[in-house]
Amino acid sequence: MTTTVEITRFRVPAARADALLAARPAMLRDFATDRTGFLGARLIRVTDDEWLDIVYWRAPGDFAESRQKGANRPGIEAFFGLIGELVSSEEGTTTDPVVP
């Protein structure tokens, strides 16, 4: 079984890193309750100000629907609002099991 993977690279000023991490649980809760097909996510700090967010979706359509919703919930809006710059966003698939 394949899983859709969203890989987003973004920058957050180092001074806002603690706020980003504090906002993460509410964002994940909002995704879990509002996003069909959301399977989990991993946040990876690459440098002091650069991050990768790897989000797992059941199917490509679930990811596409999530993109259309944008920051429609308070937790999602708070997390997204801390992002200073979007570097890239990609979609792929994996056959590996999803790690929560």
- Across residues 15-19, what is the average pLDDT? 98
Architecture of the domain defined by 3-93 = 2-Layer Sandwich (3.30)
What are the boundaries of each domain within the chain?
3-93
What confidence tier does 96 reach under pLDDT thresholds 50, 70, 90? confident
Please report the pLDDT score of residue 98 as a whole number. Answer: 73
Q: How far is CA 50 from CA 3, 5, 43, 58, in A?
A: 25, 19, 11, 27
By residue count, the chain amounts to 100
Position 99 pLDDT exceeds 70? no
Sign of CA dihedral 75, 16, 56, 77: positive
- Across residues 35-49, what is the average pLDDT? 97
